[in-house]
Amino acid sequence: MIYIGCDHGGFALKQEIFKYIKEDLALEIEDLGCYDTSSVDYPDYAEKVCNKVIAENAQGILICGTGIGISIAANKIKGIRCALCSEPFSAEMTRKHNNANVLAMGGRTTGSELAKSIVKAFLSTDFEGGRHQNRLDKIAALENIK
């Protein structure tokens, strides 16, 4: 399952990406909001999506105006590895090397066709494991630093 969420700045792109994943990629996806362009706070949607990702060992996609704020909020949640990607190579590498479980993008900075290619790279790439797992273990240990 893939969970998707956004703030008002990411609403238009979220609508396109939701349709692309459901129809073109034929994957299960659930929209956790927001549902229109009324001003909302991106941390609320980062929390909704990331809680589902953690609870179900799923993947998530978050979109705000630039992708910056929503990715920062997402990465505050224990167990989330959210990567803000602006091209497909980074989306592929964050899956291979970082086992990212959430993709962030900017609705005001990323065109829909580019966003689709980023999403496809993210969702079609697996974690390589091996030497990268040790690094992920070190990242996880950082979550326990006060």
Instruction: In whole angstroms, give the CA distance from residue 1 to residue 30.
Output: 8
Active site residue 132: no
Active site residue 97: yes
DSSP codes joined into one string, 75-100: TTSTT--EEE-SSHHHHHHHHHHH--
Tokens for 32? 């956790």
Q: Which residues contact 71 (CB under 8 A, 6 or more apart)?
A: 46, 62, 82, 83, 84, 102, 104
Catalytic, out of 6, 64, 82, 85:
64
Backbone dihedral angles phi then psi of residue 105, each to the nearest 5 degrees: -145, 160
The answer to whether 107 and 13 have CB atoms below 8 angstroms apart is yes
Instruction: In whole angstroms, give the CA distance from residue 95 to residue 126.
Output: 6
Catalytic residues: 64, 97
